[in-house]
Amino acid sequence: MVSISDPYVIRYPLIVAVADKSGEKVELVEFFDCVGGAMWTQHHYAQSPLVEQVRCVGATSRYLLRPGTADLALQGSKFPAGISGVSVTENEIAVTYIGMGGGGVGATSCRAAAKGVLREHCDPSGGGKVAGATLWLPRRERLLIGVDDTDTCEAGATWTLVHNIAKALEDEQSVYLSHTIVQLFPVVYRTRNCVGLVAEFATTEPDRLVEKFRGLLEKYTLSDKTGMAVYTGFTPSPALLEYGRRVKRGEVSPDLVRNLSDPALTIVLNGRGITGAVAALPFYTRYEEALELCSGTK
């Protein structure tokens, strides 16, 4: 007969958090193994006053949080679990969870052993107990890498190369969070589909990650027109989003990207593909808009 070592605990595979420079905004990213548990948690945690937004991206739950503490008026079935504390220091982000019954198990045992947790403090949980836990996570920053034009008419595919490079570089310092294909306006000199790519990371070593990514991109690209751009920041600027939308709507002058004055934006490889590489950045995880094929008039 099959045995289960811990039948009442489902461990989260990985939990990471990113903060903006001021420490006033935090995105908590929980990789989940049990879809039902993740959906239940998203539904109830959204009621916490420290939670400003909840969304599901692939196999992750993403919580946009504001630092502070809150006394949660937990109530069985209606509001059985939530996030009651968020704090940010120079190097760490602490998140406090609380829940009753099964929600308390999820708040404590299920998260405490997740990869990415530096240390934890948990109450005993299970049965009808109300239990809480505080997890301390490394303070990471969001880093977006945009790439375009790595293939030729004979071979290659930019979307696969970007994903494989991102997977190869993932380690404890840099977590690969998402991959977004961005449909651009189909200019005449495209290979075929005319898309740019953006890979999203949560990292504590942005400079090291960028250099390693660049090295692998230069090694494996098949094109001499490859573009690579990096955005380091919590949320891409409105100006960058407007630029991306213009590139989706029609062909733009190469001078347009050079006129972007955003200190968080860095041009790494300045081939012809830089237009699409920069344009892809603001569409990370915005899948519906990213994939939209524009007619040139909207």
- Residues 30-49 have pLDDT tens digits of 999 999 999 999 999 999 99
CB 240 within 8 A of CB 246: no
Handedness of CA 276, 63, 38, 117 (dihedral sign): positive
User: 32 and 81: one domain?
Assistant: yes
Residue 97 has pLDDT above 70, yes or no: yes
Give the tens place of pLDDT for each residue, 261-276. Answer: 899 999 999 998 999 9
Give the burial string for 167-191 (b: 16+ CB within 10 Å, else e). Answer: eebeeebbbbbbbbbbbbbeeeeeb
Give the tens place of pLDDT for each residue, 191-224. Answer: 556 899 999 999 999 999 999 999 999 999 999 9
In a domain, 144, yes or no: no
In a domain, 244, yes or no: yes
Return the half-sphere exposure (C-beta side, CA atoms, 13 A cut-off) of residue 151: 18
Residue 190 has pLDDT above 60, yes or no: no
pLDDT of residue 208: 98
CA-CA distance, 235 to 106, in Å (whole number)? 29
The pLDDT > 90 percentage for the chain reads: 87
pLDDT of residue 166: 98
Q: How many domains are contained in the chain?
A: 2
Give the tens place of pLDDT for each residue, 100-130. Answer: 999 999 999 999 999 999 999 999 999 999 9
pLDDT of residue 125: 95
User: 135 and 160: one domain?
Assistant: no
User: 101 and 172: one domain?
Assistant: no
User: 279 and 191: one domain?
Assistant: yes
CA-CA distance, 24 to 185, in Å (whole number)? 36
In a domain, 296, yes or no: no
Mean pLDDT value across residues 279-285: 98
Look over the chain and give the mean of its residue pLDDT values, rounded to a whole number. Answer: 94
Q: Between vectors from CA 225 to CA 187 and to CA 241, what angle results, nearest 5°?
A: 55
Residue 88's domain comprises: 14-139
User: 103 and 84: one domain?
Assistant: yes
User: 81 and 165: one domain?
Assistant: no
Mean pLDDT value across residues 85-98: 98
Query: Which domain-ending residue is among 121, 139, 157?
Result: 139
CB atoms within 10 A of CB 260: 15
CA-CA distance, 158 to 280, in Å (whole number)? 13
User: 154 and 287: one domain?
Assistant: yes
In a domain, 4, yes or no: no
User: 215 and 97: one domain?
Assistant: no
User: 85 and 197: one domain?
Assistant: no
User: 95 and 217: one domain?
Assistant: no
Higher per-residue pLDDT: 251 or 122: 122
Higher per-residue pLDDT: 188 or 206: 206
pLDDT of residue 87: 98
Query: Which domain-ending residue is among 139, 162, 182?
Result: 139
In a domain, 184, yes or no: yes
**What CATH number corresponds to the domain at position 236?**
3.30.70.2200
pLDDT of residue 298: 47
In a domain, 134, yes or no: yes
Handedness of CA 186, 189, 194, 200 (dihedral sign): negative
In a domain, 160, yes or no: yes
pLDDT of residue 192: 59
Residue 297 has pLDDT above 60, yes or no: no
Query: Which domain-ending residue is among 112, 139, 166?
Result: 139
User: 132 and 185: one domain?
Assistant: no
In a domain, 9, yes or no: no
Higher per-residue pLDDT: 155 or 45: 45
pTM of the predicted model over 0.85: yes
User: 134 and 154: one domain?
Assistant: no
